[in-house]
Amino acid sequence: MGRSRATHYRRHRKSPAPPRPAPIPHRARRQPAALTADERARVLDVLRSQRFVDASPDQVWAALLDEGVYLASPRTMYRLLAEHGETGERRRQATHPAHIKPELVAEKPNAVWSWDITKLHGPKKWTYYHLYVILDVYSRYVVGWMVAEVESAALAEDLITSTCAKQQVSPERLTIHADRGTSMTSKSVALLLADLGVTRSHSRPRVSNDNPYSESQSKTLKYRPDYPGSFENLQTARAWCRRFFDHYNNHHRHSGIGMLTPTVVHHGQADSVRQARAQVLDAAYTAHPERFIRRPPTPPKLPAPAWINRPPDEEQPDPEPASS
């Protein structure tokens, strides 16, 4: 033709070049060995049938294979179920009722009690003594306690009965809160509280915040500087706890109740003690007002209602006016 090959192709090529087809994603490509839409629907119908609704794909595959039927591999069955979100447990599961969040308020002593059982180390490894403690939520006063060698619902029943009699509480106005230990949820304790007319309340499973007052009191006990760590015998444990609870009720000033002792709050002496503190602070301010720059000093506020899980919409109490 009298011209080079390059010139021939350059003159006869299409310009611009025709567009290339868009690449197909790998997942969207039709695989030669893939099941057809009808086959996929048939496999799903078999897996969802009344016969195999509670069986795993492996069991379905084996049962059909014994009958001379092959639809797909177990992996393909799993893949089809996964596409429709059906790879969870196929058997019927037990459903437990939802546990209600306890919401309790104590506006005065002997309105809400919280009790718990904690372990005290014994003289040997893996030996324990069990300390039962009943605490008044409002005043933080330990109304009853006991140290025993075993954790028993019968012992808890005796402690609750004697504590109610000692405190002379009106059962219909008392609520006793506890966690879900075996002694707390036992039938004998439940029947006792029902006979006494006491309302019982329990924490939610695995939620320690639902019983904060007993947990805090237990930490106060075990973090005492003189806490021995372990006890030689039951009598030694009882003697130490007797001294501790005397100190805790009568001398320990609790930050949650205005730096007052639980005994003062529990027996209705908080207002008089606060007034006496105010008089001392007024005298100090009168003697040296230059030492108090912003405002005259005031004692801590009186104890506010104590909540277990305060509702979010519950209004905060109004601030108490400063004492003159």
User: What is the SS3 assignment for 251?
Assistant: coil
**What is the pTM (predicted TM-score) of this model?**
0.69
Domains and CATH numbers, the chain: 35-88 (no CATH), 104-264 (3.30.420.10)
Q: What is the mean pLDDT of the chain?
A: 88
* Whether pLDDT at 320 is above 50: no
Task: Please check whether residue 140 is in contact with residue 254, taking contact to mean a CB–CB distance below 8 angstroms.
Answer: yes
Higher per-residue confidence, 313 vs 168: 168
38 pLDDT exceeds 80? yes
Residue-level pLDDT at 324: 30
Q: How confident is the model at residue 171 (pLDDT cuts 50, 70, 90)?
A: low
**Average of per-residue pLDDT across 115-128:** 93
Q: State the pLDDT confidence band at 322, using cuts at 50, 70 and 90.
A: very low
pLDDT category of residue 319 using cuts at 50, 70 and 90: very low
pLDDT, tens only, 233-244: 999 999 999 999
Question: For the stretch 109-133, what's the b/e string if a residue is b when 16 or more beta carbons lie within 10 angstroms of its beta carbon?
Answer: bbbbbbbbbbebbbeeeeebbbbbb
